[in-house]
Amino acid sequence: MNPVLRGESPSVEQRSGIPFPDADLFCFAALLPPPERARLAELHAYLQEQVRPVVTPYWNREEFPSHLLPGLAAHGLGELELSGASRLFRGLAYAEVARADVSLSALVGIHNELIVDLIDALGSAEQKNRWLPELRRFRALGAFALTEPEHGSDIAGGLATTATRDGDEWVLTGTKRWIGAGTIADLAIVWARDTADGKVKGFLVETDRPGWTATRIEHKIGLRIMQNADIVLDEVRIPAAAALPGAQDFAAANVMLRNSRAWVGWQAAGVQLAIFDVARDYALARKQFGRPLARFQLVQEPLARILGNATAALGLMAQIARLQEGGGFDMPHAALAKATTTSLARESAALGRNLLGGNGVVTDHEMAKLFNDVEILYTYEGTYEINALIVGRAVTGVSAFV
């Protein structure tokens, strides 16, 4: 296969003479048809050359680099789920964004899986016409407001935010927490319990409406570019037409959560490619005892283990993409993929951080940033334990949930 389509560059080969300079050792990108392969190579080059080199200072300051949005849009990252591309391409694209920066991959994934795709699937014609053109070009940003301060894993039964019909309006009251892009979003998909029938429903809420307050959550150890927020809805009034016609019970949200768990699996695969990139380059450049670290057995072994973990994660996710294309994809598949790939990523991040020694605890060499971002992947979109219990219920027929 053309080396360029595997993400290789002449500069890497000329510098190191490495037979396998790219972390995609098993060439999963080669499974794509040629047009998608070329598109993925272009995306890889853009992200590695234009995004990865500039994001760390924003991560350190917990700031969002809004100037990158037009470039992300120009490469189709605002409309991946509406692009008609194969599931494998979309997954590998998510992985490439995570390979450049995990925070931005969180924004891109939530934007596509939980905002754009949801409005396209569950919204009215008016809602689609109003929002999708802007969202697809990142001229508008959305937030998915489901989790609450007192309800995370038990949100399906415990959701406390209420929606009350009052004539031609809905009145929303409650609080939300950990809402990605909550302070910079133009609209939010808010999940609230209808006080009339007790069902959890979805509503499109413009964030400039009276009664909406968003406060950024500070001092996170990872995903520091992503602007997570606490949201207060103090009798926020929205038109009756703002209710999502296809989101009249929690089952609609559950379908989207299933898809987003799979997307986190691609994030976990992508961040491991980044961990390998950083660790291998450091091992080749850094010298101790008069020779490169790469010549030591205790360095080559963790490099091989990181690559093995990344390859296992890519293989698992490639199979998830096949199941999604064939219609056999369900929540246990997503839960097992999310739990397994993020667990592997956690091991890879620890190995990578250790390999860099003291330089692994500062973001100057990227590894500390990756190490901390992986901790968030391991926890969000369902903790490892919750996803393990979903799988356990599927394979035993017995629920371990209360």
The DSSP 8-state label assigned to residue 247 in this structure reads: -
CATH class entry, domain 3-115? mainly alpha
Q: What angle do CA 128, 159, 112 make, to 5 degrees?
A: 30
Q: How far does CA 347 lie from the centroid of its chain?
A: 19
Q: What is the pLDDT of residues 314-332, one digit of tens each?
A: 999 999 999 998 888 888 9
Instruction: Report the predicted TM-score, pTM, of the whole model to 2 decimal places.
Output: 0.92
* Contact present, 109 and 267 (Cβ < 8 Å): yes
Average pLDDT in the 63-81 region? 96
Spatial separation of the C-alpha atoms in residues 297 and 7, rounded to whole Å: 27
Give the start-to-end residue ranges of the domains of the chain: 3-115, 142-248, 251-396
Helix (H, G, I), strand (E, B) or coil at 104: helix
Residue 10 has pLDDT above 70, yes or no: no
Question: Residue 259 is encoded by which pair of tokens?
Answer: 């898809």
Q: What is the pLDDT of residues 203-217, one digit of tens each?
A: 999 999 999 999 999
* Contact present, 390 and 383 (Cβ < 8 Å): no
Looking up tokens 């996710």 gives 317
- Percent of residues, the chain, with pLDDT higher than 70: 96
Residue 193 has pLDDT above 50, yes or no: yes
Q: Classify domain 251-396 at the CATH superfamily level.
A: Butyryl-CoA Dehydrogenase, subunit A, domain 3 (1.20.140.10)
Q: Which fold has domain 142-248?
A: Butyryl-CoA Dehydrogenase, subunit A; domain 2 (2.40.110)
Q: Is the fold of 142-248 the same as that of 251-396? A: no
